[in-house]
Structure 1
Amino acid sequence: MSTNKIEEIKKENVSDGEKIKGTVKQVLTTEDEGISNIRMRYFTVEPGGHTPWHKHDWEHENYFVRGKGILVTKEEEIEVQPGMSGYVEANKMHQFKNPYDESFEFICLIPVAEE
């Protein structure tokens, strides 16, 4: 068993200026804790920021914690907000955007092997 305080977890700026903008990642669970299946990550997307437009071979689940954002796919754009969850299928193009005036924060779960 392990517990962590989010304010004590290292923040990694994953922005590159173009593909990823205004985005910070925190890895909440690690293999060092004996967690072998699921990786839990916390993302903060600043106003005007976005994650990359991408797809991957694994599904992931999200829980939206603070602020509002847009989950973008080829087919639609869905406004998400605190208290909502989201599921992105494997190999589906997607992106999270924050066109709003406050930070957008969410938890993302993926398979450990993909982190």
Structure 2
Amino acid sequence: MKHVHYTKVKREPVTVDGAEGVSVRWVISDADGAKNFAMRVFDLEPNGHTPYHDHDWEHEVFILSGSGVVCAEGQDTSLIPGDVVFVPGGEKHNFQAGPEGLTFICLVPYQ
């Protein structure tokens, strides 16, 4: 078993093209023995954003704090704490933080 407060996990900058002001914490990963899914916590600085992209796997997202927008296939949806988002595989998407930033949990399967 692993038990840790997420803020104790190292935060790493996301450096892929199209990301601005984004960092990630791999709070549960294969390094912990997780064989099927990874749990990540993303922090977006005020007005930061992830790249607009797609991939084969799905995302399950839970908004922890802040506000922002998820853009999926060109449609913007506002986000507040407590919201959940399902992004199916193959759907182009990105997350954009509002003026106070955005923090969310993102679960993805290993591929």
Q: Secondary structure at the match of 1:67?
A: strand
When the two chains are superposed, the root-mean-square deviation of aligned CA atoms in Å is: 1.3
- 2: distance between equivalents of 1:13 and 1:2? 23
Tell me by how many angstroms 1:3 deviates. Answer: 1.0
1:109 aligns to what? 107
Greater fraction of residues in strand:
2
- 1: distance between equivalents of 2:25 and 2:6? 8
Gaps of 5+ in 1: none
The 8 Å contact of residues 12 and 26 in structure 1, kept in 2 or not, is answered as yes
Q: Secondary structure at the match of 1:32?
A: helix
1:3 aligns to what? 3
2:53 aligns to what? 54
- 2: distance between equivalents of 1:60 and 1:73? 12
4+ residue runs of structure 1 moved beyond 4 angstroms? none
- 1: distance between equivalents of 2:63 and 2:104? 4
- 2: distance between equivalents of 1:44 and 1:80? 14
Describe the shift of the 1:97–1:33 C-alpha distance in structure 2 as closer, same or farther (beyond 3 A): same
- 1: distance between equivalents of 2:66 and 2:41? 14
1:69 aligns to what? 68
- 2: distance between equivalents of 1:8 and 1:23? 18
* Letter of the 2:13 counterpart: N
The 8 Å contact of residues 65 and 80 in structure 2, kept in 1 or not, is answered as yes
Percentage identity across aligned positions?
Answer: 32
Tell me by how many angstroms 1:38 deviates. Answer: 0.8
Gaps of 5+ in 2: none
TM-score normalized with structure 1 length: 0.90
Q: Deviations over 1:21-73 (max 9, x none)?
A: 00000001022221101100000011121001100001110000000010002
- 2: distance between equivalents of 1:32 and 1:96? 26
| Number of equivalent positions | 111
